[in-house]
Amino acid sequence: MNVKFAPSLMTMDLDNFKEQIEFLSDKVDSFHVDIMDGHFVPNLTLSPWFIEQVKKISDTPISSHLMVEDPSFWVDELIKVHSEYICFPAERANGIAFRLINKIHDAGLKAGVVLNPETQISEIKPYLEALDKITIMTVDPGFAGEKFIQSSLQKIKDLRSIREENGYHYLIEMDGSSNRKSFKRIFDAQPDIYIIGRSGLFGLSDDIETAWDMMTQNFLDATGVAITQ
C-alpha cells in the first residue's frame, strides 16, 4: 500500500529550515503550506514568499491550503510562485469556484478545495468533477494542536464512494491531529494523503531523522503498514 504523507510546514522547526526540508524531500510526496489571513481564521502563518524559499532547495510539490477571506487574491499570488496544488476554502468559493478552478488549471497547476468540519460535501457537488484534490479538516482550522473530530472521517469514506461511482480523479487528504492516537481511525477511512504536523512528526524529536523514524514506527504499530520511503 502506497501511503502518502504531507508534512505541515507551519509546525516545523524554522531554526533548522534547510536541514528539515532537505531530509523530508527524500521521504514525502508533497509539502503542506498553510496560508492564513488573520480574518478567515484568527491566525497568520506562512506566505507565498515562504514557498519561494522552499522551492530554492526542494523540488517536492507544494500544496497550499488557503484559510482566507479573499481566495481570488491569494490564488493569483500562489500562481506566481507556482504552488503545484492550490486549495481554496469551500466556504468562500460560492459564486467563484469555477472561475478559481479554471484560473488554476490554465496556469498548469492543480485545483483543490478544503471542507471544514461543519461544511458538507453537498456544498462542492457542482464542481467535484473538476477538482484535483479535496482536503477534509479533522480539526477546527487555524491552529495546531486542536482536538480530533471523529465525525469528519465519514466525509473521506463518502468522497471515496463518489469518486468510484463517477470516475472522478480527485485525491482525498485529511488535515488535523494525525498522530499515533488517531492513525488507525484515519487509516480505516482510507484517505490518499495524511497531513502530519507537530503531534504526528515535528514534535516527536528535535532531530528530524529521529522524528521521522518515530512517526513511521507509530504508523506501523497503529495500522500494520510499514512506510518504506
| Catalytic choice (26, 34, 59, 106) | 34
* Phi and psi, residue 4, nearest 5°: -105, 135
Q: Cα torsion at 72, 137, 159, 219 (round to 10°)?
A: 130
Per DSSP, the chain holds a count of helices (H) and strands (E) of: 7, 8
- End-to-end Cα, the chain, rounded Å: 12
Whether 26 is catalytic is no
Report the side by side order of strands in the sheet with 4-7. Answer: 4-7, 193-196, 171-175, 133-137, 110-115, 85-89, 62-67, 31-36
| Catalytic choice (26, 37, 175, 206) | 175
Query: Of 143, 140, 221, 228, nearest to 182 (Cα)?
Result: 221
Whether 34 is catalytic is yes
Q: Which residues are catalytic?
A: 34, 175
